[in-house]
Structures are given as structure tokens and as C-alpha cells.
Chain A
Amino acid sequence: MNNSVSINSLSFTYHGHEKPALKNICGEIPEGAFIGLIGNGEAGKSTLCCAMNGLVPRFFRGNYSGSLTVGGKDPSKCKVAEMSKTVGLVLQDFEAQLFSTNVELETAFGPENLGLSRVEIGQRITRHLAFVGLEGMRHRDSSTLSGGQKQRLAICSVLAMESPVLVMDEPTTDLDPKGREQILSISRRLKAHNRTLIIADNDPENLIKADRLWLMREGELIACNSPREILTNKSLLDACGVMALPTIALFHAMGWQGNPLTVEDAIELIQKHNLVPRRRQISPRGQKDTRSNNPVLETRGLSYCYPSAKSNSLQDVNISINDGEFLAILGQNGSGKTTLAKHFNGLLKPRSGEMLVNGRPTTTYRHHELARTVGYVFQNPDHQIFAPTVYEEVSFGLRMLGEDHHSIERHVAHALSVTGLEGYENRSPFLLAKGDRQRVVVASVLAVKPKVIILDEPTTGLDYRHQRDAMDLLKELNRQGHTIIVITHAMWIAETYCRRTVVMKDGRIIADGDTRAVFADAARLSEAALCPSPLARLSNWLGTESLTVEDMVRELAL
């Protein structure tokens, strides 16, 4: 069989950086293979993806050595536009990739550039929209699609160029479980079309079906083997900062034989070897009565409608949140999570009903008064970082509130130490890594010591290790008495960290209660296009209370 990609001691250092992003990569990818690139945030996966179509080194300049051949062409010597006939690249950020007015024209853009006939373009649009399951959306404005649909459109627009090699850089981050499943199903079906597929991801669960996994660390290719070989080598994964599959982690910790890659395999093994008896099924308990006499945040019949929208974005929401809670808000894009959270700190005012903070309607507060009680960390740190130094950035809120010099110094020092940013005071926040920028933003909200901290997708764009760090930080803040509200797509984060979970759909709350109980009710979750993480599914099947590997080991040992 021919090799579609061959790499020979490829190294690359970005212009102005000292550490190489790729170090001496060697490897071959046969035609029609499905390769998974796995590794943490600094592993060099994205750089390798961009090297495939020549963005590295033609768009990102730097020191390039070694050789790379893709479909017989050398990407470093061809124009990116020329390479696009051979390699299709789906970038990580799908929002910026969609620039056309509607779905049809988005898909047409690539084939138009290839100079195909209008009839052929029309046929390709029909064919590929059907392939990714967007056939009914042909004339929709792409900005009105859900996150999963946008990502499928981004893939479709690259598929329509019908290049023999397809590269996707973290195609499933930022997606809810259902959206993710649809992307994975696309990648599985592509295999049947004999296209060479390269997918970079930091979650091994998404790459189980790959023919081979390339494990990367700090720009080096550490191992290259079948998923089973690599994913069962827990110590190797740990060394590379990649999350081990929870099923395998559980089997290792319990000392059970076998390495199940999926929940189904795990259940089969448990039954076959009679490893542990199933317990009494936990029944999803009814809605917990969370009303107390003195909630920090409370909504009463809250409804909201965006000025240009036709229907309500929030519909009769009743929720009350007590001091010291750790709460997750789950739901699809557009289900109203962010709209609800923006009511909590008064950015939006209810159309009807009431939003009470400490028992007082938000309409009677001024914005900066509310900032003292309810802090809000936005999804993208770049939307708020502006100061030349970390110290100025973190002290901004305090200065705005007119604190005196000494208390500013004290509070900033505390916020920096809690977020692990001591020593960063005089660094420029713009030059920090994404995970650290996220910390700066959290610190800047924390500095004013709000009772409640709301975080919108705090783990987006972070790799597994940094996700854990970020969430451990929130856990510590919660222990110190802050009420934490997290909006997230990642089920494991809600399961591992949050005591209470709220599920939203179409502007309504469809489940609200103890996290374990909410995740026991898979049917209710699937209504909101969600599904429990593999470990929670296994726990549901076993009838155990735990939602983390450590807890489960403890519970099963009893």
C-alpha cells in the first residue's frame, strides 16, 4: 500500500520561540488509515496538523527542517491554497472558520476555489451536507446553528473539497455529548471512503477507533502503536499528561484482569469474570427541594427574551442557590445557560419575574455593586485582559470600586497566591499560556472577593491537566466559602466536582438536584442531548454511588 504521508526527522521552531514545537518527528501514514494524534496542550499536535497543509511554515514562520511529503507534495514548498487540493484541514476554532451567509454558500466556498463547474458544486453540496446530516439546513444562516452543527458544517465545507487527506484539530472540544457523538460517527464513516484521516485530540475516548495512535510529548513522537497498546499503558499516559480511560483506570486500581476500552467491554468483562455483584439500582430521586430561607441567588418565574429574538430565551425559571453550593449548569448551546447566568450578576434584567441577589431584585442594584457579590468569569480570557501587567489586571476591579492602596495590595496578593500566580505580578498577561491567562481572569474576579463566582466554560481550550488544575482551584475556593457556579459541556467535570447539577433545555430547567441523582436519570439527560460520562454509565449499571474512579474503588472495596 502507498504511503499518503511520510515524515522524516521533521523539526520546527516558531519564530521568536526558543523551544522547538516539533522535534525530529519520523513516521509514515498509509493511504486510507485513521491516525489519532494524542498528547497534552504543549505536545505539538496542532503544529503537526498545520504542517500537513503547509500553514507551518508558510503562514507561521519559523525554523523548519527535515522533510514531509503529503500525497506526493512537499507542503513547505507549495502554496497553502495548492495543498488544499490534497489536504483538508479543519481548525480547532470552528466559529472563525464559518464566514459565509448560509450553510450552502459555506460549503460552496472550497469547491468554488477549485474552479469546479456550478453543477458539480451543487452536487457536492447536496452529497456532503447529507453525509454530515445537515441536509435540512441548506439555507440556514450559519450563526443560528448549534455548536455541534457548526462543527459539522466546518467539516462538511472541508469534505466538499474532496481532498484525499483530512486533518482535524480537536474537532470535539466545546461540544455537548450528542454533538461529539455525531462528529465521531462522521469520522468512523469516513474510513469507508478510503480517505486518510488524521485527528488530534487530548481525550483518548475519541480516538479508540483509530488504526494507530501517535502519542506526543513536548514536540516529540513518544510512541506509535494501536490504541489498545497505548491506552492500556497507564504509566506512559500519565507521563505524557494524557487522561487515562476511566474504565481502564478502574480495572487497574481494582487489580482486575482485562483492559476494557469502552463501558460495554467493561460490563462484559465484569459479567464474564463475575468481578463484582450489581447493587440495588439507585432510583433517580425526585427534584430536591433546594429552597431555603436565605438563598444568595433566587429567581421567581424568571422569563427573558432577547430584543431581536422571536421566542423567549428563558421561560419561567425558578431556582434558588444557597451560600456555599458548588453547582453545574448543563445543557446544549442555546438552551439558556449563559442567559440565566447573566441574570445572576445583573448583566441582563428579567423581562418578567424576579431575580433576587441576597433577597434584593437586581434591578435595584448598580452594576459595580453587584460585581462585589457576584463575580462572572467569561469564557474567553481575551475578552477582558487589557493591562500591561498581571498586577494591574488583577487589581482592576478593586481600583474601580475605589479601594485604598493597602487593601488593594493585600487582596491582589491573596488572589494571586490562591490561583498560583505568585511571582507573575510584573509579567504581561498577553504573553502567558491560555491556562495561565484563564487563571489571571479568575484571580481578577476573585480579588474583589465576591460571594458567588460564575464561570462560563472554564475548561474550554485547556488540556486535561490544566482542566484538573482549574477545577481543583475552584474546589479550594468553594471550601473557603465561595459559592461556585460552573457552566460546562464536560460531563466529567460536573460529575467529579459539583454537588448539585441543573440541566436546561429550551430556556427551561428540566432537572435540578443532587448530581448523582441527575446522572442516574440517563433518559432525562438525553432529552437535553446530554449523556453521562463512561464512568457514570458504568456506575449506573453497577448501582454504585460514586462518580470518580477513586470513590468507586473505595466504595467497591467496602
Chain B
Amino acid sequence: MNLSFYQDENTWLHRLDPRTKTIGVAIVFAICLCFNHPLYTAGIMLAVLLTALSARVLPLFRRMRFILALLILFSSILWPFFAKGPTILWQWSVLTVSRESLLFGIAMGIRLATFVMAGVILLGTTKNEEITNGLIKMGLPYPVAFALSTALRLVPTFAGAGATIVQAQISRGLDLESKNIFSRFGKLIPLAVPMFITAIRYTNLLAMALESRGFSPDGLRTLYCEPKMKRQDWIILFSLSAILAIFLYLRLALSIGVVMPGRM
């Protein structure tokens, strides 16, 4: 089963410098924070979706559709109880739901999902080594850059091990189909313990393999695929910064795209 994020294609996003993509994602995160009106955040999400379409990473979104749906759903259900707005729709003892808080909840859900999507686009179009090399080029020390990118790379590996562990325990009679959420909680131990053991063994082996192949945190190292900033990279970074600046102006000076003033 192939669980890694990277989609081996050759689109304009794949060809961009990893630094551009890393900084670009950071700017997109900031853009997401500009508005808290669901229509505006939905617009941003649509733009991210179109980018994903052109980078041919939509299959990754399909794979993560449950997580994305859950983020939007939970946020829309839970936020209204915590954020307070003036137009009360429903009230029961201390619990109130207002029109503003409902919209805010939806906006927050879309924002979270957009965060995840932007991150997934980065991982889906950038090889792990490119991310490492990009981070090094941005001045991060090699061990830190390597640790960061290895952590990202291990997520799918451990997800795969986790799936195997669930299957192994189901085969032994572990009943994960029962509806009772409390009894389910106690059933986590047979899954969590082997997960830890597997992770520890795996990282231990990985450390051995790395050292055996001459990995040394302080050593001078050639970057086989050295990232190079091209014209497109500068254009993208400039446009994204410009969009961020405009959005900040809209929000801060003109208060556009806001349902809950005073909240991010």
C-alpha cells in the first residue's frame, strides 16, 4: 500500500523551489487568518482547491476527505457555544447560539480545513529531500531540517503500521464495531502499545541505517538536488504577499469579511 503524500507528477507547482512553496504555504496560512466570514474563507478555500487541481494532488484530498469533513463539522458544531454574538437564535439555560457565532464556527471549520489542504499541497508536490534542502538553504541547521522532514515523512509510515495493528487485533477478536464510545476507549491499549513498540523499533533501525550510511549532523554535505530560485518563484512569492497585504488592508482598515469583530 502506498501511503506517502508525494505525488510523482511534473506540474508547475512541483517545479517550484521548495523555499517558495514553504514560504508560500506560510503566507496562505496568514491569508486564511484575515477573515472570519464563512463566504470569504470559502473563497480562499476554493482558490486552494483550484491550486490543488492544477497540481494534480486532488487524490490526496479524497484520501483525507473524512478528516477534512470532520474538521468543518466539529468546528461548526462546537464554536457557536463558545463565541458569543448579538443575534440570538436559540437559548437553553447558559447555552446560547447566535447567528454570528454559527457563521463564525463555519468559517473556523473552513479555515482549519484550508490549513490542512495547503499543507497537503506542499507535501504532495515536494519531495521530502527538497523540503530538507529548502529548509537548509533558508538557514536552518542540517540536523533540525533533517529531523523536521523525517518527522513529516514518518507520518505515512506509522499510519501504515497503525492500519496493520488494527487489522491484527481485529483478527484476534478486538471488537471495534460496537457503538459504545466508552468501551471503545478501553480498547485503545491493545492498539497503542504495539504502536509505540513498533515506532521505537523502527526509529532505532532508522538511526542505525542513517549512521551506517555516513550521516553526521555536523558534517559538510552535498545537496544532490540543490534548489534554485527562478523567475516564477519570485512572481509567486510577490503575488502571494500582495494578496496578503490587500486582504489585511480590507480587514483592518475597511473591516470587510468579518462576522465577529475582535476575533481573528
Question: B-contacting residues of A (Cβ < 8 Å)?
Answer: 50, 53, 55, 59, 79-82, 84-85, 88-89, 91, 93, 96-97, 99-102, 105, 108-118, 121-122, 139, 141, 143-144, 157-158, 161, 306-308, 342, 345, 347, 366-368, 371-372, 375-376, 378, 380, 382-387, 396-398, 400-401, 430, 444-445, 448
Contacts and interface: CB of A to CB of B under 8 A. Distances in A.
12 contacts: A81-B211, A118-B224, A158-B213, A368-B175, A378-B168, A382-B197, A383-B168, A384-B168, A385-B194, A386-B192, A430-B197, A445-B172
Contacts of A143: 2-4
Given A139-B8, A157-B213, A384-B172, A108 B224 contact: yes
A343 B28 CA distance: 44
Contact of B212 (A84, A380, A387): A84
B222 A101 contact: no
Nearest to A454: B171
B150 A99 contact: yes
B252 interface: no
Contacts of A101: 4, 6, 127-129
Given A101-B6, A121-B222, A81 B216 contact: yes
B127 A102 contact: yes
Contact of B165 (A85, A144, A384): A384
Interface string B171-193: 11111110000000000011111
B215 interface: yes
Interface string B187-219: 001111110011001100111111111111001
B206 A383 contact: no
B99 to A, nearest CB: 40
B231 interface: no
A108 B224 CA distance: 7
B77 interface: no
A100 B129 contact: yes
A101 B5 CA distance: 10
A115 B169 CA distance: 46
Given A81-B216, A85-B214, A384-B165, A308 B173 contact: no
Contact of A96 (B209, B216, B222): B209
B167 A347 contact: yes
B1 interface: yes
B131 to A, nearest CB: 10
B198 A81 contact: no
Contacts of B254: none
Interface residues of B, number: 57
B58 to A, nearest CB: 12
Contacts of A99: 150, 153, 206, 209-210
A400 B167 CA distance: 15
Contacts of B189: 386
B213 A161 contact: yes
Contacts of B263: none
Contact of A118 (B176, B198, B222): B222
Contacts of B215: 81, 109, 113
Nearest to B201: A382
Interface in B116-170: 127-129, 150, 153, 161, 164-165, 167-170
Nearest to B209: A97
A161 B209 CA distance: 13
Contacts of A396: 172-174, 190
A59 B211 contact: yes
A93 B214 CA distance: 18
Contacts of B6: 101, 141
B177 A110 contact: no
B214 A81 contact: yes
Contacts of A100: 128-129
Nearest to A113: B214
B223 interface: yes
- Centre residue among B2, B128, B129 by max chain A CB count within 10 A: B129
Contacts of A139: 8
Nearest to B207: A59
Interface core residue of B153, B209, B220, B226 (most chain A CB under 10 Å): B209
Given A121-B222, A383-B194, A396-B190, A378 B216 contact: no
B147 to A, nearest CB: 13
A366 to B, nearest CB: 6
Contacts of A122: 224
Given A141-B8, A383-B165, 15 more contacts: A55-B208, A55-B211, A59-B211, A84-B212, A88-B212, A89-B212, A99-B206, A113-B221, A115-B220, A141-B2, A141-B6, A143-B2, A143-B4, A366-B177, A448-B172
